[in-house]
Amino acid sequence: MTVPLPKQAYPGRILPVTLPAGPGGTPVTVGGQNALSLAPEGEKPNAAAIGMEVRTGGGDLPPALAKAFECRATDPVSLAGACANDWGAQFLFLSLDGCHPDGGGQPVEEGARIVHEVLAAVSCPVIVGGCGEEETDAKLFPAVAESAGRPVFLSYADEKNYRLVGGAALAYGHGVVAWSPIDINMAKQANLLLSDLGVPPERILIDPLTGGLGYGLEYTYSIVERIRLAGLSGDAMLARPVLCHLGDAWKAREAVDASETSWGDAVLRGRRWEETTGWACLAAGADLLVFRHPGNVEAFREAAWR
Amino acid sequence: MTESFHSSCIQGAKSVLSLARASLSHQLAGRGGSAHLGYPDTAYELPVAFGLTDLKVSTLADGEKVLDLAEGLLRNAPTLENALEAGAATLLAADVLGALSHKDGNPFSPPSVGFVPDSILRKLGIFMVDGTVPGVAVAIGRATDPAAAAAMVRQFQEIGLLVFLAGDVAQQMEKAGVKLGDDFKTFPLGPLPAVIHAVNFAVRAGLTFGGIGRGQTQAMYNYLSQRVKAFVCALGPMDEIGLAVIAGAMKAGFPVLADRNLPEIPGALLRSPAGEEMVRAGMEARGIKAKIVKVPIPIAFGPAYEGERIRKSDTYAEFGGGRGPAYELVVSAPLSEVRDKEIVVVGPDIPDMPKGGTLPLGIVVTVSGNRMQKDFESVLEQRIHRIVNYGEGTMHVAPRDTTWIRVSCEAQAKGFRLADLGMMLYAKMHADFENIVDRVSVTIHTREEDVQRGMAFAKTVYAERDARAKTLTDDTVEEFYSCTLCQSFAPNHVCIVAPERLGLCGAINWLDGKAGYEITPTGPNQPVMKGAVLDPVKGAWDGVNAFVREHSRNTVPGFNLYSIMDAPMTSCGCFECILALIPEANGVMAVNREFEGSETPCGMGFSTLAGSVGGGAQTPGFMGVGKHYLLSKRFLAAEGGLPRLVWMTKEMKEYLGADLAARAAEIGMPGLVDMIADETVAVTPEQLLLHLKKVGHPALSMPPLL
């Protein structure tokens, strides 16, 4: 006797979103599925996209990243080139943390210039992240939106700054990453607010805030899964691709602390910490993953089941 | 006068049209029909034609089509409708004229800028979307008093408005030393007809930021009238062309404020003297609000200080709390009766008091706003508690005429006075109720006789409110309100807040839900249309069920608002108390969050019970509720109501006290409260049953719950 596998059919479908590429580059399209990741049923026209983060600020690198980046660490343009051309990133997440008052305090114009140069150096899609300091970002996003020569995604818009980021995106034809602090209501609200503003739905990604392994990952897992279930159940405001930025994995002491020799090799440990965080996010339903370690890009791009 | 105004508008439109015709034929003769017609540096051809018609314009011949279309809008009968159509014709013709004049770039001499290119539109547009630029003021004509007009434009700049100037007022402002240019977001456009560049700027804003495509006329008009918060200040006498421009502005939905004798059209054409009055009128006509960045008071102010207690020994001044009469009241009034930011203190103030002194206190906050409703007064009034507690060194306890306020010695030493208290209320009412409040004034009385008189009035308001609250029943309203605030941790839980069943957290009643929706239309409080009644006794409606199903993402098919046994409402985790079935007693018990004991007749204390009740689960026999639900006429109506209550904690019994007794008397069981057991009487089902039998509790003779 054979027991038929139950197949769940959802009324909704995740909206496909395309991150545009530069001349000669390959755009990245994600979303479009009508089922959960890993489940056997449904259509999944687009695999999760694997991207890499490039930061403009200095600061100490974890041992694992210092080893991988070598001399490129201090030059965002050359690092971006390596990510896109040598390490296989399908898209870049360029964080302008160098403009943060505590992270070097580069002038806004300098940040915008780096964006311009990186966009000239790579042809893959690019998401540009602010520095995280409200006042600086309020100047940074308009400047970046204006100086970027081609469409990018701006990250991120939240409950407070969505008008500014949404406005900058509308003015120059960019997309927006809608961020919320591990809260499905706020994720929905951010999307509602951006829609009210007139940002087209196919230019919005959801960033639900990704906690690193051991530092809140389980909350993120649950939220990503619930956002996806809500979207598949027909909630249009949540039927959008989800981006998981794994940067927080590198904030874990376990990922970076080389002084704890009993924990094993810090270089391997850091990479693994990010990798494990990434697998969980992928299983939860993430459509875009942002890594820092080149080795993980390779691992994920080759994963058959993503 | 109205008729002559309309006919002048129409005449003016004809003049603009013939000017455009003349200029166009001149260029046609010289350059030919296929010569280029358009503005420099824009992706939107002739923006007005792009946004309001489906004509594609790239040549002089195309320009002719626009003028033909404009001409077709003109009718001679002097009606308002025809005047507005003439306004539309004026906008189209003026845009053609404007583009013709830009054949070789900006035709005007500096500082006039002529057409404002897309690059500036995009830059400024971000800040308009963002709200940093809260609106657009367009001043046209020739000011009779240039100094007053200059002061007005400077005020626009202070508020952060984008300012366009067209006509003689541009030179007048330059002469008066008003700072002009990009950095000051103030653009002198040129002579009066150049005002079209303000209009085509607004149209391009709709095309760029509003996602509106070519020829979506109605969508564009909606965008102009609702999203672009622009108003026009018409200064000095207006000729027919000026009036046609005014008609065009009205057609676009921009209110016009005129300092001359023009017929008033509510919402569209208003009279106002140039100056501060006009600034206020313009801001109000567009609902533009200047943001308060920092509350100007000598003490720190914010949620961080909310929990601060001020001990008697640290108290400098004290109001109410049994030491003297004190009350607080929020009332609404028509816009014309409230002067925004008016803060008045009548009587002795904190500096006049000795340390540890007391004074009577009467706080009256008067608010007005187009979306303010009388029902919201109590919601705003309740917020006073939090606002006063936000101050470092100010403490607030108890509402209405039981209020009690302390000001610390530290705050007094920093120079805190009652006017600062007024400022806290003013600023925070604006910030917290931005969507419903347009003007706020605060009056604070400290003289005994004034406070007594005010309090007598306040009591009549409280009584009216209470009477109104009694008429608010689940049957008399069309809609309930949802609260999904807790979905962050109870993902499938939906609270339905009805007049007769407040939120289970006790913090949100039906009015709060209603106000919450007005304040944040995208927030967790959404109106829920009741729909058809499915069961009036158990409290089931098909609209409610549909909402619950959708918002619980298909996990809860619906529920009965007044039942604990049959499909009860789900519980998040914030409930004030838990109702639990005691099968042996054929009734329910109630235990509140503060109850620390673990012994109750159901065998579990509050926290153990909470673990099995919360999380959005629907558990027949168990339910989290707000304490005041026990007083509702709908309390467990499906199961027989209050007589089902067999046990409650002593603390809850004391808390509900007289109200519970009154409710028991209301249902004809004045002795019921005394029959309800508490932890001093019974902590096991056996003890409880003995007690209930002894006192003859009605639950024992009610239909079986199981």
Percent of chain B with pLDDT over 90: 73
B532 pLDDT above the threshold of 80 = yes
- Average pLDDT (B621-649) is 95
Tell whether A197 is within 8 A of chain B (Cβ): yes
Task: Tell me if B594 is assigned to some domain.
Answer: yes
pLDDT, one tens digit per residue, over B333-363 is 998 899 988 999 999 999 999 999 999 999 9
Task: Tell me if B298 is assigned to some domain.
Answer: no
User: pLDDT at position B489, please?
Assistant: 67
Task: Tell me if B294 is assigned to some domain.
Answer: no
Same domain, residue pair B152 and B246: yes
CB atoms A184 and B126 under 8 Å: no
CB atoms B127 and A167 under 8 Å: yes
Residues of B in contact with A168 (CB under 8 A): 126
CA atoms within a 13 Å half-sphere pointing along the CA-CB vector of A266: 17
What is the 3-class SS of B165-206, one letter each residue?
EECHHHHHHHHCCCCCEHHHCEEEEECHHHHHHHHHHHHHHH
Closest by CA to B245, choosing from B10, B29, B75, is B10
Same domain, residue pair B163 and B284: yes
Residues of A in contact with B485 (CB under 8 A): 185
Task: Tell me if B579 is assigned to some domain.
Answer: yes
pLDDT, one tens digit per residue, over B386-443 is 899 999 999 998 888 889 999 999 999 999 999 999 999 999 999 888 888 889 999 9
CB atoms A233 and B554 under 8 Å: yes
d(CA A212, CA A194): 27
Mark B101-137 as b/e (b = at least 16 C-beta within 10 Å): bbbeeebbeebbbbbbebeebbbbbbbbbbbbbbbbb
**Domain end marker among B442, B470, B498:** B470
- Give the CATH number for residue B355: 3.30.1650.10
Residues of B in contact with A164 (CB under 8 A): 126-127, 129-130, 132
- Give the CATH number for residue B168: 3.40.50.2030
CB atoms A189 and B523 under 8 Å: yes
Tell whether A164 is within 8 A of chain B (Cβ): yes
Residues of A in contact with B204 (CB under 8 A): none
B592 pLDDT above the threshold of 60 = yes
User: pLDDT at position A184, please?
Assistant: 85
**Domain end marker among B436, B470, B504:** B470
Q: B83: distance to nearest CA of chain A, Å?
A: 32
Task: Tell me if B295 is assigned to some domain.
Answer: no
User: pLDDT at position A277, please?
Assistant: 96
User: pLDDT at position A7, please?
Assistant: 80
Tell whether A167 is within 8 A of chain B (Cβ): yes
Closest by CA to B526, choosing from B507, B547, B505, is B547
Q: A76: distance to nearest CA of chain B, Å?
A: 27
Residues of B in contact with A172 (CB under 8 A): 122
Q: Which domains does chain A have, with CATH numbers?
A: 48-302 (3.20.20.20)
Long-range contacts of B103-110 (CB under 8 A, 24+ apart): B103/B27, B105/B40, B107/B190, B108/B189, B108/B190, B108/B191, B108/B194
Give chain B's domain count.
3
User: pLDDT at position B395, please?
Assistant: 93
Closest by CA to A155, choosing from A118, A130, A180, is A130
CB atoms A185 and B130 under 8 Å: no
Task: Tell me if B630 is assigned to some domain.
Answer: yes
Would you say B485 and A185 are in contact if contact means Cβ atoms under 8 Å apart? yes
User: pLDDT at position B182, please?
Assistant: 87
pLDDT, one tens digit per residue, over A100-134 is 998 888 999 999 999 999 999 999 999 999 999 99
CB atoms B488 and A145 under 8 Å: no
Would you say B59 and B33 are in contact if contact means Cβ atoms under 8 Å apart? yes
Tell whether B125 is within 8 A of chain A (Cβ): yes
Same domain, residue pair B29 and B123: yes
Same domain, residue pair B492 and B465: no
Size of interface A-B (CB pairs under 8 A): 66
Q: Please, is A31 exposed, middle or buried when counting C-beta atoms within 10 Å of its C-beta (0-12, 13-18, 19+)?
A: buried
Name the token pair of A7: 């197949």
d(CA B565, CA B623): 9
Question: How much is the mean pLDDT over chain A?
Answer: 92
Task: Tell me if B36 is assigned to some domain.
Answer: yes
User: pLDDT at position A305, please?
Assistant: 59
CB atoms B126 and A189 under 8 Å: no
Q: What is the identity of the amino acid at B185?
A: K
**Domain end marker among B437, B470, B503:** B470
Q: Residue holding tokens 């004798």?
A: B261
Which chain B residue's Cα is nearest to A190? B522
Would you say B635 and B642 are in contact if contact means Cβ atoms under 8 Å apart? yes
d(CA B178, CA B162): 14
Residue B455 φ/ψ, nearest 5 degrees? -65, -40
**For B487, which of A166, A184, A196 is closest by C-beta distance?**
A184
User: pLDDT at position B488, please?
Assistant: 64
Which chain A residue's Cα is nearest to B490? A184
Same domain, residue pair B154 and B282: yes
Expressed as residue numbers, the domain containing B655 is 479-701
A306 pLDDT above the threshold of 60 = no
Mutate to test the interface with A, among B123, B124, B130 (most CBs of A within 10 A): B130
Strand partners, B528: B480
User: pLDDT at position B308, please?
Assistant: 82
CB atoms B488 and A226 under 8 Å: no
Same domain, residue pair B97 and B191: yes
B668 pLDDT above the threshold of 60 = yes
Angle at B161 between CA B160 and CA B162, to 5 degrees: 120
Helices (H), B472-541: 510-519
Mutate to test the interface with A, among B42, B121, B126, B133 (most CBs of A within 10 A): B126
- Average pLDDT (A70-89) is 91
pLDDT, one tens digit per residue, over B105-150 is 999 998 999 999 999 999 999 988 888 888 999 999 999 999 999 9
Would you say B28 and B103 are in contact if contact means Cβ atoms under 8 Å apart? no
Q: Please, is A111 exposed, middle or buried when counting C-beta atoms within 10 Å of its C-beta (0-12, 13-18, 19+)?
A: buried
B600 pLDDT above the threshold of 60 = yes
**Helix, strand, or coil (residue B31):** helix
- Give the CATH number for residue B504: 3.40.1470.10
Task: Tally the residues of chain A.
Answer: 306
Q: A73: distance to nearest CA of chain B, Å?
A: 33
pLDDT, one tens digit per residue, over A267-287 is 999 999 999 999 999 999 999
Would you say B366 and B338 are in contact if contact means Cβ atoms under 8 Å apart? yes
Q: A38: distance to nearest CA of chain B, Å?
A: 21
Same domain, residue pair B267 and B341: no
- Average pLDDT (A88-101) is 95
Tell whether A236 is within 8 A of chain B (Cβ): no
Residues of A in contact with B126 (CB under 8 A): 141-142, 145, 164, 167-168, 171
Closest by CA to B596, choosing from B647, B649, B549, is B649
Same domain, residue pair B679 and B554: yes
Q: Residue holding tokens 């470092």?
A: B392
Residues of B in contact with A142 (CB under 8 A): 123, 126-127
Question: How much is the mean pLDDT over chain B?
Answer: 92
The confidence band for B1, taking pLDDT boundaries of 50, 70 and 90, is low
Tell whether A86 is within 8 A of chain B (Cβ): no
- Average pLDDT (A76-89) is 94
Which residues fall within 8 angstroms of residue B77, CB to CB, at 6 or more apart?
none
Same domain, residue pair B60 and B194: yes
Same domain, residue pair B255 and B276: yes
Would you say B622 and B609 are in contact if contact means Cβ atoms under 8 Å apart? yes
CB atoms A170 and B208 under 8 Å: yes
Mark B688-702 as b/e (b = at least 16 C-beta within 10 Å): bbebbeebebbbeee
- Average pLDDT (B559-585) is 93
Same domain, residue pair B581 and B637: yes
Same domain, residue pair B9 and B139: yes
Q: Residue holding tokens 């890993």?
A: A38
The confidence band for B36, taking pLDDT boundaries of 50, 70 and 90, is very high
For residue A290, the 8-state DSSP code is E
Mutate to test the interface with A, among B44, B122, B550, B554 (most CBs of A within 10 A): B122
pLDDT, one tens digit per residue, over B142-180 is 999 999 999 999 999 988 899 999 999 999 999 999 999
Helix or strand run (H / E) with residue A275: helix A266-284
The confidence band for B295, taking pLDDT boundaries of 50, 70 and 90, is confident
pLDDT, one tens digit per residue, over B437-478 is 889 999 999 999 999 999 999 999 998 888 887 888 999 999
B375 pLDDT above the threshold of 90 = no
Task: Tell me if B178 is assigned to some domain.
Answer: yes
